[in-house]
Chain A
Amino acid sequence: MIKLVNGSDPGSSASQVFKTENCLCSNWLPHVRTLRYDVNHQEPTIDKSKLFGTIEEDDIRRFKPIKAATNDQSTSVFYSATLEKFINMVMKDGKKLVARKIVNEMLENIKMTQVEKFNRCENEKEKMEIECNPEIIFNQGLENIKPVLMLTPIIKGGVSYKVPVACPVHRQKFLAMKWLVESCRDRERKIPMGKKLAYEIFDAYKNEGKCVRRKQELLRQCEENRAFAHFRY
């Protein structure tokens, strides 16, 4: 992969002849005014299996400085990147402790409900199918909310059209989490947020509920506007 001199490419450095197929980090940098890190710094590798696996001699990370791991990252079994992102989205006014507490309550609620169901169930076959891991339920629920397509405004001939476009992966994640949090914030204030989130996740897990409906609404609109699909380019 080639990297070019600054001036042509925002996040680039001096040219190199490295194999980056094994490199996890993308070289896409967020468009923020200034970066505290030098452009050469690579993202840290948090996955333990990848750290203990083979890293080739000519991997780019061997030749470049690495950014510091944030205070949320760790190689422990309990770390989940999706959950950390979700905590950030739930957070308001920088109150991380509160956000983390809410998300933990959500996971706890999910677990308790499922365990209750498991204990009540008499049929052995059905028992095996009950998923008790709250993280798996959360991930699956999120997957069901992620939209495959999205509408982008494209101006052609002075008129702004809403064109259906394939939704990139990072945008899918963001939209799913955003809708989840928004729908919970709109609900009754008396119910704790953790509980509300748990209810929403359960609905999404079964492909029902507000968030999934929102996603289906979006996909329906994309279908309606499919005549403009060729405006992509």
Chain B
Amino acid sequence: MAASMQTFSRVCSTKHPIKELIRWQITKCSALDRHKNGVHTSCRLLADVIPETFEQKTENKAEKISKAMRLYMERAKNYNSMIDKEIDEYEVGKRHLANIMGEDPDSFNQDDIDRAIKYLLPSGLFEKRARPQMKHPYEVFPQRKEALFGKDGRPHHYQFYTGKPNYHGLLHDINMKYEHLNATETELYKNGKMAEEEDKKLFLHGFQWIDHKTLTKQLIEEISPQEYNRFVLVLHRLLKHKLSYKEEEFLLKYSKKVMTMSQFRSIEKPLIDSDGREYSEATGRRKTSNATVTVYNNGSGQISINGQDLAYFKDIHQREQLLFPLQLVNKIDKVDIVATVEGGGSSGQTGAIRLALAHALCSFVDTDSIERLRLAGLLTKDPRTRERKKPGQPGARKKPTWKRR
């Protein structure tokens, strides 16, 4: 440090101090010129390295930036050419695969490829992502952003220096829209035309905001959970605005439709046995009990559990549990039930039979009743099981006596 200060003061005496300091700093920071000709640049006289004028110093800066830009452009070009090559390979490979499978190469799509690979290269690996795959390069290689700054080193995006320009730009856009709507609202109030806008409020029923992963993919930036939460809050604020219907298109871009749970259930048709009676079968589990229930339509309310009557369960409460699904769909004395159950205790067996019964009843009942059964929690398997004992403890949760010391 002392040596460089001496050289600096030597230089300073002859030339303009501030300009020299700037030039000095530039040379010091330039990693490219660090060890030119075996001598550390910071120790060399600036006059030897750079010409005197200030304008030429900025040109040097521009040269350096354009050099960085050139390297950046080169890397981008290489990447693009690599991707193009991969795409060509993929297309050719697709056609080969189609020929191997004996199918039409022109109409061979991704589903066909998946099937073909599964057939030709069967794998028993549990991790599906470790199995052989053939996907389009856009799905395999992570997406990259286009050139972020121009030849002069000036970034294209006005939020570039936030580090996450797309994310912050998006938040900014949403807020700008909100401000704009506020301004529109005041105008309408002034003109007395707000009353017309009363009925047009946007609700977006049955829609969900896009989830975290989708947003990350869309913005090609790493979004933390807190940032995602902020994004959702801001979007929601825009939706809640009275005039949000004006931004419906924008809001729909960031929402996706949700499927109702009832759409996931396929309606099973009842079977017909040798006597011509309609019946349906279902299995149910609870803790370690397994139950199989056959429900016969057009019955008289006869119940048989492992050959016995309802008296198989000694507790009235447990018998009431079996009647729960029947009571909800009004089939108490209208169906016959034959149940076999094994394993577990009385309570577990009750739960198993109840579940199987509810599932079996779905074949004889309309969709509204099925939805009611579902909402009452009768169609869900109870996942609760006995919690294991942990080492160092006497039980699952119980701990040894606490001693202060």
Query: Which stretch, A63-71, A113-121, A222-230, touches the partner chain B?
Result: A63-71
- Interchain CB contact under 8 A, B377 and A52: no
Question: Quick one: given A15-B232, A66-B374, are A75 and B209 in contact (CB under 8 Å)?
Answer: no
Give the nearest-CB partner of B372 in chain A.
A51
Question: Quick one: given A14-B208, A45-B375, are A75 and B381 in contact (CB under 8 Å)?
Answer: no
Question: Quick one: given A2-B232, A5-B212, A71-B350, are A66 and B380 in contact (CB under 8 Å)?
Answer: yes
Partner pick for B236 among A2, A5, A19, CB 8 A cutoff? A2
Total interface residues in chain B, CB < 8 Å: 49
A97 to B316, CA, bound (A): 10
Q: How far is the CB of B149 from chain A (nearest CB, A)?
A: 32
Q: Assess whether B324 is interfacial by the CB under 8 Å rule.
A: yes
Partner pick for B262 among A48, A52, A62, A97, CB 8 A cutoff? A62
Question: Quick one: given A6-B225, A76-B323, A78-B320, are A69 and B377 in contact (CB under 8 Å)?
Answer: yes
Q: Assess whether A231 is interfacial by the CB under 8 Å rule.
A: no
A17 to B321, CA, bound (A): 36
Partner pick for B206 among A52, A55, A57, CB 8 A cutoff? A57
Q: Assess whether A169 is interfacial by the CB under 8 Å rule.
A: no
Give the nearest-CB partner of B231 in chain A.
A15
Q: How far is the CB of B118 from chain A (nearest CB, A)?
A: 29
Q: Assess whether B160 is interfacial by the CB under 8 Å rule.
A: no
Partner pick for B208 among A16, A67, A68, A73, CB 8 A cutoff? A16
CB neighbours of A58 from chain B (8 A): 203, 205-206
A100 to B374, CA, bound (A): 28
Query: Which stretch, B6-14, B107-115, B186-194, B252-260, touches the partner chain A?
Result: B252-260
A61 to B229, CA, bound (A): 23
Interface of chain A, helix or strand or loop or mixed?
A: loop
Q: Assess whether A74 is interfacial by the CB under 8 Å rule.
A: yes
CB neighbours of A65 from chain B (8 A): 261, 380
A220 to B174, CA, bound (A): 54
CB neighbours of A16 from chain B (8 A): 208-209, 258
A8 to B372, CA, bound (A): 33
A16 to B379, CA, bound (A): 24
CB neighbours of A71 from chain B (8 A): 318, 321, 347, 350-351
Q: Assess whether A44 is interfacial by the CB under 8 Å rule.
A: yes
The interface centre, meaning the residue of A19, A36, A71, A97 with most chain B CB atoms within 10 A of its CB, is A71
Q: Assess whether A7 is interfacial by the CB under 8 Å rule.
A: yes
Q: Assess whether B307 is interfacial by the CB under 8 Å rule.
A: no
Q: Assess whether A81 is interfacial by the CB under 8 Å rule.
A: no
From residue 7 to 27 of chain B, which have CB atoms closer than 8 A to chain A? none
- Interchain CB contact under 8 A, B324 and A17: no
Give the nearest-CB partner of B375 in chain A.
A45
Q: Assess whether B312 is interfacial by the CB under 8 Å rule.
A: no
The interface centre, meaning the residue of B258, B315, B351, B379 with most chain A CB atoms within 10 A of its CB, is B258
- Interchain CB contact under 8 A, A75 and B351: no
CB neighbours of A100 from chain B (8 A): 317
- Interchain CB contact under 8 A, B206 and A63: yes
Q: Assess whether A37 is interfacial by the CB under 8 Å rule.
A: yes
- Interchain CB contact under 8 A, B377 and A66: yes
A66 to B376, CA, bound (A): 8
A13 to B190, CA, bound (A): 42
CB neighbours of A75 from chain B (8 A): 324, 327-328, 376
Q: Assess whether A136 is interfacial by the CB under 8 Å rule.
A: no
- Interchain CB contact under 8 A, A17 and B260: no
CB neighbours of A67 from chain B (8 A): 377, 380
Interface string of A25-61 (1 = CB under 8 A from B): 0000000000011000101111010011001011001
Q: How far is the CB of B204 from chain A (nearest CB, A)?
A: 5
- Interchain CB contact under 8 A, B375 and A68: no
Q: Assess whether A4 is interfacial by the CB under 8 Å rule.
A: yes
A62 to B264, CA, bound (A): 11
From residue 170 to 204 of chain A, which have CB atoms closer than 8 A to chain B? none
CB neighbours of B384 from chain A (8 A): 36
CB neighbours of A55 from chain B (8 A): 375
A99 to B375, CA, bound (A): 29
The interface centre, meaning the residue of A61, A64, A68, A75 with most chain B CB atoms within 10 A of its CB, is A68
From residue 71 to 95 of chain A, which have CB atoms closer than 8 A to chain B? 71-76, 78
- Interchain CB contact under 8 A, B205 and A69: no
> What would 8 more interface pairs be, CB under 8 Å, given A71-B321, A71-B347?
A2-B236, A7-B226, A15-B211, A58-B203, A66-B261, A68-B355, A74-B323, A74-B324
8 contacts between A and B (CB under 8 A): A8-B229, A14-B209, A18-B205, A43-B377, A66-B376, A68-B378, A71-B321, A73-B377
Please report A residues at the B interface, Cβ cutoff 8 Å: 2, 4-8, 14-19, 36-37, 41, 43-46, 48, 51-52, 55, 57-58, 61-76, 78, 97, 100
